[in-house]
Structure 1
């Protein structure tokens, strides 16, 4: 059963730089104890008098019981909202709502899992790795980014994973190339049963294609722009094929962010396919 989200005013405990990224640890009781791997939070940015009205969605990297419950967020500065977050310091306050979304489904029985992360998308994979290992699963990591400073969590992955394969497009860390260049080999060597992935949409599309070749399920946490995080504004819709074979425009924030990769019509993201339920001139209920 999904946990009910709560709104809290959290206190910033620590801020730190992690290579190209910022990590923010916030005391947020109520959010922390409800969080499962794959959940995210909606964060109000800009302060009380800001013109930035919409919340920003951030995957939860880590949850700890310290101080009644803390959550850690990892992000890169992309605009005024994240720039404001990056300037926060210890003891500043932050308004956040969470946990939001549908978390990663966990296997009932021990199995072999490959965890694939692109850039800071890999931040949400470590809590998942802990949960999988608690169920007796083997985990192997594949992490990639354009350059070494944008690969997140390489050391932690090496400590946790049976194997860890790193890729960078410029060859500055690990193997030169993309995660999709090495994924087939990792799946074959590990005899993987399932793939979990989080990162840019193009990467998720490629990872899904590899999983389909091996006929194993791929669970992807999509990165879509979300304004409200609670399913009201409809900015994060994407076309997903349902159990009945019908494509529907679903909300990444409430129906996801985790989906079966082969059900997501990646090539049609950003559009309303003509055959989607309710599409103009298309299929109707």
Structure 2
């Protein structure tokens, strides 16, 4: 059942290390039932008496029917909140809210799709690939990271994709360089109709530039820090050009995290452009 997000107490089923990352699978049937590729969850960290009040947001990597419905998410330890999560074990409980955000829009007809992932951003692309393939779409993967241990899902991509191209900045896996160095060749060879991308903002900016050159749409799932995940705190705003041509500061958590790449003003992320609606001294609506 698709619908509004729910807050649940989920039981950790499994924890595993995946190279440089951690993956947690949580029994959460109500979240799994409502899931669409591109959705995310927010997780309370630190326990009931913690001073860490803000939730952490994670893209959903996998959903399975086991135990009524499980949800898996992947993360890297970056601070005390994710360090606490990395210490969770089977049968621990977690407070989850989800599924959140706007999922990836799917093509109406079978087409050729290139899926681009940077670091653990690729975690959200595999359930998307599965849905696309069931709709008769061809899927090609381009995955990249700084080093081999930070490329997430290389083996799964090779199993699923028509082609899989891997890049690392240090040359330890695949081609030396970044995903944007090889993307044009993949788009041309596959005769791609659309690109889906998830990863760091700098990567999404480069991927969007390549797609604009080819004149094909790109759906980007942005990685922005989120404190609430439900549109209240305004910490995750991104400048996006709306259909009427006016730039608005939109919330990645509720208006995204998926946007049409050419509408995101990547050069202005982290600022409020002077011509944005409602900007100080700028447009007012």
Give the TM-score of the pair, scaled to structure 1: 0.99
1:59, CA displacement in angstroms? 0.2
The answer to whether the 8 Å contact 1:145/1:168 transfers is yes
**Matching of residues 260-279 of structure 1 within 5 Å:** 260-279=260-279
Give me the whole-angstrom Cα distance separating, in 2, the residues matched to 1:157 and 1:101. 25
Q: Kindly indicate whether residue 230 of structure 2 is the aligned counterpart of residue 214 of structure 1.
A: no
Give me the whole-angstrom Cα distance separating, in 2, the residues matched to 1:43 and 1:212. 36
1:35 alignment partner in structure 2: 35
Where does structure 1 lack aligned partners over 5 or more consecutive residues? Answer: none
Where does structure 2 lack aligned partners over 5 or more consecutive residues? Answer: none
Q: Kindly indicate whether residue 139 of structure 2 is the aligned counterpart of residue 139 of structure 1.
A: yes
Deviation track 1:208-250 (CA, whole Å, cap 9, x = no partner) reads 0000000000000000000000000000001000000000000
Question: Would you say how many aligned residue pairs link Structure 1 and Structure 2?
Answer: 285
2:226 alignment partner in structure 1: 226
Deviation track 1:43-69 (CA, whole Å, cap 9, x = no partner) reads 000000000001100000000010010
Give me the whole-angstrom Cα distance separating, in 2, the residues matched to 1:170 and 1:3. 43
Q: Secondary structure at the match of 1:42?
A: strand
Q: Kindly indicate whether residue 187 of structure 2 is the aligned counterpart of residue 190 of structure 1.
A: no
The answer to whether the 8 Å contact 2:40/2:59 transfers is yes
1:87 alignment partner in structure 2: 87
Q: Kindly indicate whether residue 180 of structure 2 is the aligned counterpart of residue 177 of structure 1.
A: no
Give me the whole-angstrom Cα distance separating, in 1, the residues matched to 2:76 and 2:216. 32
1:29, CA displacement in angstroms? 1.1
The answer to whether the 8 Å contact 1:195/1:218 transfers is yes
The answer to whether the 8 Å contact 2:37/2:127 transfers is yes
Q: Kindly indicate whether residue 4 of structure 2 is the aligned counterpart of residue 7 of structure 1.
A: no
Q: Secondary structure at the match of 1:183?
A: helix
The answer to whether the 8 Å contact 2:248/2:276 transfers is yes
Give me the whole-angstrom Cα distance separating, in 1, the residues matched to 2:88 and 2:278. 44
The answer to whether the 8 Å contact 2:113/2:137 transfers is yes
The answer to whether the 8 Å contact 1:2/1:102 transfers is no
1:112 alignment partner in structure 2: 112
Give me the whole-angstrom Cα distance separating, in 2, the residues matched to 1:65 and 1:16. 19
Give me the whole-angstrom Cα distance separating, in 2, the residues matched to 1:139 and 1:242. 29
**Matching of residues 232-271 of structure 1 within 5 Å:** 232-271=232-271
Q: Secondary structure at the match of 1:219?
A: strand
2:21 alignment partner in structure 1: 21
1:2, CA displacement in angstroms? 6.2
Residues 268 and 2 from structure 1, CA distance in 2 versus in 1: closer, same or farther, beyond 3 angstroms? farther
The answer to whether the 8 Å contact 1:37/1:128 transfers is yes
Deviation track 1:137-182 (CA, whole Å, cap 9, x = no partner) reads 0000000000000000000000000000000000000000000000
1:148 alignment partner in structure 2: 148
The answer to whether the 8 Å contact 2:44/2:54 transfers is yes
* Aligned-pair Cα RMSD in Å: 0.8
The answer to whether the 8 Å contact 1:208/1:262 transfers is yes
Task: Give the 4+ runs in structure 1 shifted more than 2 A.
Answer: none
Give me the whole-angstrom Cα distance separating, in 1, the residues matched to 2:3 and 2:172. 41
1:3, CA displacement in angstroms? 2.0
Give me the whole-angstrom Cα distance separating, in 2, the residues matched to 1:232 and 1:134. 36
1:204 alignment partner in structure 2: 204
Give the TM-score of the pair, scaled to structure 2: 0.99
Give me the whole-angstrom Cα distance separating, in 1, the residues matched to 2:25 and 2:2. 24
